[in-house]
Amino acid sequence: MNCELKNASHFITKGCLNLILIFGGAYSGKLSFVKEKFGILDEEVLTLDNIDNLEIDFSKKVINNFHMFTYKMSLENKDPLQYILENKDLFKEKIIISDDICQGIVPLKKEDRFWRENTGRCLQYISSNSKAIYRVFCGIPMVIKDDE
């Protein structure tokens, strides 16, 4: 495991955060999969819906709807990747669930393109620091990466 890999302008601590990334389409069963696979209880999940606060509650094991966090940061012209880098020790061993918004038709609105780009950069960093990555499609998990 290389913990000092350079990537563009960021130092990437590849694999050192022991994250688990779950991504897929909206309403595809990502959270249900996480609860079943990892034995997660409702009180261990932080669901980011309509967040007014940009701070993440790191006492939770699971950060659900991560794409909503990047959306809120993007709307406020803040860099969500910078937030991750500044708080990377707090992200250790978390399970991150995100809708995959980086595929398909390029959004017409500039702010939506900015959000999509920010989310893509964050998910690249998270995936490089993940020990396992799953894509969930119609409730069916597909293993993308498994370093366990």
pLDDT digits (tens, 9 = 90+) for 70-84: 999 999 999 999 999
- Exposed/middle/buried for 15, CB within 10 Å: 0-12, 13-18, 19+? middle
**Model pLDDT for residues 97-145, shown as the tens digit of each residue:** 999 988 878 878 888 888 999 999 999 999 999 999 999 999 999 999 9
Where are the domains positioned within the chain?
Answer: 5-48+66-146
CATH number for the segment(s) 5-48+66-146: 3.40.50.300
Residue 88 tokens read as 């990377």
